[in-house]
């Protein structure tokens, strides 16, 4: 039984052992990294619509400074640094996926108002703190009771990196071998651009396309999660790209159907995915989230009850590794934040909007935390949750008479807070999983998340204003693809042009998947993400399954997990570095464009390098340790 497994689980640092954890150095390093990762990911997300997880890069940087520079052995300090530092990336993702829509409206019409630094900061701060607080009562249900069921690939990978750095020896070498190869690989493909990081082939005969993002982190996530979950993701991709897209192409013909603005016959597979499949997938993700929440309710209620029972407990009666923020602090904090959302004049949200935030916020905090447990935070489709929120919130605002730019601005602000809540809850759950494995103190990690959220919120407003002034958002500047989609959804509801029929199709697909007894969320996520992301994860799962079928010893599989943890870390670090390099200009040209070789080897080079990458996973898994 799962509960028995939980009783047997022993963290790396025992509960009765006290070590330096929340120190001045760990707080300082974490806050600096929260700002740095927040800024880098803001630019990256506005440019390509995706961000990279900062937990593992922060852990590696922390180990480099604390262990090798300051000559200290403190795994819990390193864990605290990554906990605080990763908050910046998560908060930035929530903000840049939605708020640029306000800038776009302000540039399009004199009726709309340009968001101020104060408005952005307050909205980000409210969402960041809410996200952490919502996750606190979920920790026992998702982290402890689901241990062994939810893999938390990046949280587990981060723990492996920390443990490898602490233990040194062969484990450390395996992790840093993966990190080094991944870093070189990432820089070759997205720094020098020797080969494309994404390969794609249109298949006219099948009326669709197929391809893969040939990146190390995706293979690593697939290996860590295993074939079962990666196959669910891949199945969702197959349904979307080899069933739904061909059907839309076949029956659509030369018609121009809303929300698309181009005849279907002129769209390639990506065009159909962007114009139609995303809406279907958003309906499936929202429905999967509701089903997930209903299934989680018993555990959530139990977690709340446990928190209430601890009201009268003395501090020393609770095991160190089981101490959370007091439930009365959580409930009081949530109530205060909702009042501030309603009453603060810089936040254009009324009482109805505040109620929507409290309901959808807790709902999607739960869903996001579980999704991160399945596929990791880098592949957590937060934007799908925000689309579902915006559909509902904008409809309610329209019905209650809040229309025009004022109503749309309110909807985006509601969506922004929900987006940040979901991103922060997912990041917090991942960090708490890492802490659960290494033996950290949950209440200290939760406090660290709150600190990271505050500092990241104070910096994101200036970052967004600077980027808007330097580049602009939308056409002709930073594309801000996610925010552009959110803008389109809100305008569609307000103007009555939203394709509810597509969303209902997604709802029906999710219900059928549940009836078949399959887990809805991973399949729905695969439906929402481009198949190019699920293909490499599926390949990573197949590599692990190969070792499982061969009945390889535990050491072989564990070394594969360690190596793949390094792959995720290496790509994350270089992803941040490339985002920073893109801000540096040489004679008015971004440094990344100066060193670019424009994918000279083409798709052939991508396939060859990816094959070598996959072979390296096999090699380092079976490589025997040298005898001492």
Across the strands, what pairs with 210? Answer: 201
Q: Tell me the two tokens of residue 202.
A: 């249109």
State the angle between helix axes of 153-167 and 55-62 in degrees (0 to 180), rounded to the nearest 10: 10
Which backbone phi and psi does 369 adopt, to 5 degrees? -60, -40
Residue among 574, 565, 536 at smallest CA distance from 184: 574
User: What's residue 2's pLDDT?
Assistant: 39
Q: Tell me the two tokens of residue 359.
A: 């309901």
Residue among 79, 19, 21, 25 at smallest CA distance from 55: 79
User: What's residue 312's pLDDT?
Assistant: 47
Does residue 259 have a cis peptide bond before it, meaning omega lies within 30 degrees of 0? yes
User: What's residue 56's pLDDT?
Assistant: 74
The domain total for the chain is 1
Instruction: Say which residues have a Cβ less than 8 Å from residue 100's Cβ, sequence separation at least 6.
Output: 46, 464, 468, 473, 474, 478, 480, 483, 484
Q: Domain for residue 627, yes or no?
A: no
Tens digit of each residue's pLDDT (9 = 90 or more) over 505-537: 999 999 999 999 988 888 988 898 889 989 999
Measured between alpha carbons, how far is 96 from 92 in angstroms, rounded to an integer?
Answer: 6
Cβ atoms of residues 58 and 33 within 8 Å: yes
Q: Domain for residue 512, yes or no?
A: yes
Measured between alpha carbons, how far is 414 from 349 in angstroms, rounded to an integer?
Answer: 7
Measured between alpha carbons, how far is 199 from 47 in angstroms, rounded to an integer?
Answer: 19
User: What's residue 596's pLDDT?
Assistant: 87
Taking the chain (628 residues) in consecutive chunks of 10 residues, what is each chunk's mean pLDDT?
A: 54 87 90 84 70 73 74 83 88 89 87 88 95 90 81 85 73 81 92 92 93 90 87 94 95 86 92 90 82 71 59 59 89 93 92 90 84 72 78 90 90 93 91 93 95 93 83 74 82 84 92 91 86 92 91 80 82 77 80 87 94 95 68
Cα–Cα–Cα angle for 349, 352, 357, rounded to 5 degrees: 70
Residue among 421, 567, 414 at smallest CA distance from 60: 567
Measured between alpha carbons, how far is 349 from 340 in angstroms, rounded to an integer?
Answer: 10
Q: Tell me the average pLDDT of the chain.
A: 85
The domain in which residue 84 lies consists of: 2-622
Q: Domain for residue 628, yes or no?
A: no
Tell me how long the chain is. Answer: 628
What is the percent of the chain where pLDDT is above 90? 38
- Which residue in this structure is represented by tokens 């408005």? 119
State the DSSP string of 568-594.
HHHHHHHHHHHHHHTT-EETTEEHHHH
User: What's residue 242's pLDDT?
Assistant: 96
User: What's residue 1's pLDDT?
Assistant: 32
For CA atoms 8, 13, 14, 20, the dihedral sign is negative
Across the strands, what pairs with 208? Answer: 203
User: What's residue 569's pLDDT?
Assistant: 75
* CA 176 from centroid of its chain's CA atoms: 24
Q: Domain for residue 428, yes or no?
A: yes
User: What's residue 167's pLDDT?
Assistant: 65
User: What's residue 369's pLDDT?
Assistant: 84
User: What's residue 263's pLDDT?
Assistant: 93
């Amino acid at each position: 039984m799962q509960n028995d497994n939980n009783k047997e689980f022993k963290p790396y640092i025992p509960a009765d052992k006290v070590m330096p954890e929340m120190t001045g150095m760990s707080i300082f390093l974490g806050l600096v990294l929260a700002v740095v990762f927040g800024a880098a990911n803001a630019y990256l997300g506005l440019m390509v619509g995706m961000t990279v997880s900062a937990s593992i890069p922060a852990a590696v940087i922390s180990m480099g400074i604390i262990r090798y520079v300051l000559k200290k052995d403190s795994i819990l300090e390193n864990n605290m640094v990554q906990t605080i530092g990763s908050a910046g990336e998560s908060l930035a993702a929530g903000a840049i996926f939605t708020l640029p829509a306000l800038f776009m409206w302000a540039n399009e019409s004199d009726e709309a108002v340009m968001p101020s630094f104060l408005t952005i900061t307050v909205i980000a701060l409210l969402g960041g703190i809410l996200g952490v607080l919502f996750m606190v009562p979920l920790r026992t249900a998702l982290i402890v009771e689901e241990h062994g069921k939810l893999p938390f690939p990046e949280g587990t990978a981060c723990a492996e990196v920390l443990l490898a750095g602490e233990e040194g020896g062969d484990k450390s070498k395996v992790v840093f071998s993966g990190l080094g190869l991944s870093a070189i690989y990432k820089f070759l493909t997205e720094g020098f651009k020797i080969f494309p990081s994404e390969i794609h082939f249109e298949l006219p005969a099948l009326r669709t396309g197929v391809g893969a993002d040939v990146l190390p982190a995706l293979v690593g996530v697939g290996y860590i999660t295993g074939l079962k979950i990666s196959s669910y993701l891949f199945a969702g991709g197959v349904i979307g790209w080899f069933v739904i897209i061909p059907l839309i192409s076949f029956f659509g013909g030369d018609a121009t159907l809303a929300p698309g603005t181009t005849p279907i016959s002129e769209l390639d597979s990506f065009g159909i995915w962007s114009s139609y499949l995303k809406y279907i997938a958003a309906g499936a993700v929202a429905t999967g989230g509701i089903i997930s929440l209903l299934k989680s309710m018993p555990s959530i209620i139990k977690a709340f009850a446990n928190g209430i029972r601890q009201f009268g407990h003395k501090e020393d009666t609770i095991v160190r590794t089981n101490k959370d923020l007091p439930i009365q602090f959580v409930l009081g904090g949530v109530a205060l934040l909702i009042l501030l959302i309603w009453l603060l004049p810089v936040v254009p949200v009324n009482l109805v909007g505040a109620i929507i935030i409290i309901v959808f916020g807790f709902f999607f905090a739960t869903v996001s935390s579980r999704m991160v447990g399945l596929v990791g935070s880098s592949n957590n489709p937060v934007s799908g949750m925000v689309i579902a929120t915006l559909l509902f919130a904008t409809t309610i605002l329209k019905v209650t008479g809040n229309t025009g730019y004022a109503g749309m601005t309110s909807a985006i602000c509601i969506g922004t807070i929900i987006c940040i809540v979901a991103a922060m809850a997912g990041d917090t759950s991942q960090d708490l999983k890492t802490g659960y494995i290494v033996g950290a103190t949950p209440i200290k990690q939760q406090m660290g998340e709150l600190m990271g959220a505050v500092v990241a919120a104070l910096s994101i407003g200036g970052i967004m204003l600077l980027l808007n002034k330097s580049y602009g958002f939308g056409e002709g500047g930073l594309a801000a693809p996610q925010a552009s989609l959110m803008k389109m959804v809100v305008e569609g509801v307000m103007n009555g042009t939203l394709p509810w029929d597509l969303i209902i199709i997604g709802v029906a697909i999710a219900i059928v998947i549940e009836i078949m007894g399959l887990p809805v969320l991973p399949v729905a996520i695969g439906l929402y993400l481009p198949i190019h992301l699920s293909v490499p994860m599926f390949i990573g799962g197949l590599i692990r399954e190969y070792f499982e079928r061969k009945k390889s010893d535990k050491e072989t599989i564990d070394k594969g997990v360690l190596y793949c943890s390094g792959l995720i870390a290496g790509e994350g670090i270089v992803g941040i570095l490339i985002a920073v390099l893109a801000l540096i200009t040489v004679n008015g040209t971004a440094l990344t464009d100066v060193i670019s070789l424009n994918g000279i080897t083409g798709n052939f080079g991508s396939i060859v390098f990816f094959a070598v990458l996959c072979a390296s996973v096999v090699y380092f898994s079976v490589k025997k340790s040298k005898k001492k």
